Amino acid sequence: MTPTRTSKLERGRSALGPALELVHTGRAPTRAALTAELGVTRATAGAVAAELESLGLITVDSRPGAASGTQGRPSHRLAVNPRGPVVLAAQVHADGFRAALVGLGGRIVATAPGCGTVAADPAQILGEVVEAGAGLLESSGRRCVGAGLAVPSAVAEPEGTAINPLHLAWEVGAPVRDIFTRALAEARIGGRAGETTASGCAANDINLAALAEHRHGAGRGAEHLLVVGTGHRGVGGALVLDGRLHTGSSGLALEVGHLTVDPGGRPCHCGSRGCLDVETDPLAFVEAAGREPGPEVSLLERSQELISTEYGSDPAVRTAVETLIDRLGLGLAGLVNILNPDRIILGGLHRTLLETDGERLRAVIADSSLWGRSGSVPVLPSSLAHNSLVGAAELAWQPVLDDPLGALNG
């Protein structure tokens, strides 16, 4: 059959999403790269880039320039539009919340933190974080096309409920996605074409951090990426396999926090003792350093400040760092034996521990793991600021990446 004009247009439209994703993840910095990655003609790639530009999503350099680090003919440079639409990203953690506006490319445009105890009713903090986001949107004047939420709990799908919010007073099974969506409606936060207000999406914070690191950060190009981190309380883990999050049969995979790293250690809320969750989080660090966990500041910030100011001068801080590194290393060694990752990324306090004495941590992992000894898995610090927020933004951007024209123009 001869291709009709309509089918050509349809083909062009179906290339918009993949093209936007290539620019979004930095894999198509030029029109020539876009042409090669999409496997289309130069004319089609040019038309697709022009359409994304007319939607306000990307910019196309009007004059071709030499692409840095490449040989061959000059090509038009493509970039995320620095004044394009944004999404509202929200994160709730044991010490409060953070709201942010995030553009394409994982770029944080504006952010606002809130510190305090999280009330038992999720509607309260979700209302506060959305209000903070509404304030950011108002002062930025940018169009909002969606909203995503990161929570310190596994989130069951398709219900959107928080099923183990262990470090928050929330009820088990709290319908966080629906509550978030209601807060967005009350604050009149805009969404995609055809929506009166944005419909929210929600997921586990460490899963989102892993997704963000894989698309925009230290995890780019990894095929079996293991991410472990501790932000405020407890320890989370995530695995990205061939670009997709491995979430298990019901969203509960990679609950790494309950690996035993000290059989005689402190009791854990799971019923066991000496779990990674309670032996390597900021509270464990502050206590190991002999300090009182003050209520007024974030435990993560307090731990990081202790390490940056007193690691060299206070033996108690140095010993606490070594103790936590040894326990973390044991936990990671167990994961290396089971999962055989090709890269490990550490976030939050674990990242600080790696940066403080990476040699010790790598030695503990290698000494206690089969694959660690033979292959030495690269262990890297996370490279994105606020990676859970950037990951929450990825959730919100997904419908736009799937169908840019439909999401923006209807």
Q: Where does this chain bind Zn ion (CB under 5 A)?
A: 258, 268, 270, 272, 275
Quick one: which of 356, 279, 269 has its CA closest to 321?
356
CB of 332 to Zn ion, least distance (A): 16
CB of 350 to Zn ion, least distance (A): 17
Q: Cα(122)–Cα(253) distance, rounded to whole angstroms? A: 24
Q: Cα(294)–Cα(215) distance, rounded to whole angstroms? A: 36
CB of 267 to Zn ion, least distance (A): 9
CB of 348 to Zn ion, least distance (A): 18
Contact 240, 219 (CB under 8 A): yes
Quick one: which of 33, 41, 20, 36 has its CA closest to 64?
33
Q: Which is nearer to Zn ion, 158 or 271 (CB)?
A: 271
What's the CA angle centered on 44, arms 73 and 242, to 5 degrees? 85
Q: Which is nearer to Zn ion, 260 or 398 (CB)?
A: 260
Q: Which is nearer to Zn ion, 35 or 280 (CB)?
A: 280
Q: Cα(58)–Cα(107) distance, rounded to whole angstroms? A: 13
Q: Which is nearer to Zn ion, 75 or 230 (CB)?
A: 230
CA dihedral 54, 57, 62, 63 (to 10 degrees): -150
Q: Which is nearer to Zn ion, 184 or 261 (CB)?
A: 261
CB of 224 to Zn ion, least distance (A): 25
Q: Which is nearer to Zn ion, 140 or 272 (CB)?
A: 272
CB atoms near residue 288 (< 10 Å): 20
CB of 251 to Zn ion, least distance (A): 18
Contact 88, 396 (CB under 8 A): yes
Q: Which is nearer to Zn ion, 272 or 383 (CB)?
A: 272
Q: Which is nearer to Zn ion, 125 or 275 (CB)?
A: 275
Contacts from 321-325 at CB under 8 Å and sequence distance 24+?
321/285, 321/353, 321/356, 321/357, 322/357, 322/360, 323/288, 324/279, 324/280, 324/284, 324/285, 324/288, 324/349, 324/353, 325/353, 325/356, 325/357, 325/360, 325/361, 325/364
Chain centroid, CA 318 distance in Å: 30
CB of 363 to Zn ion, least distance (A): 26
CB of 269 to Zn ion, least distance (A): 6
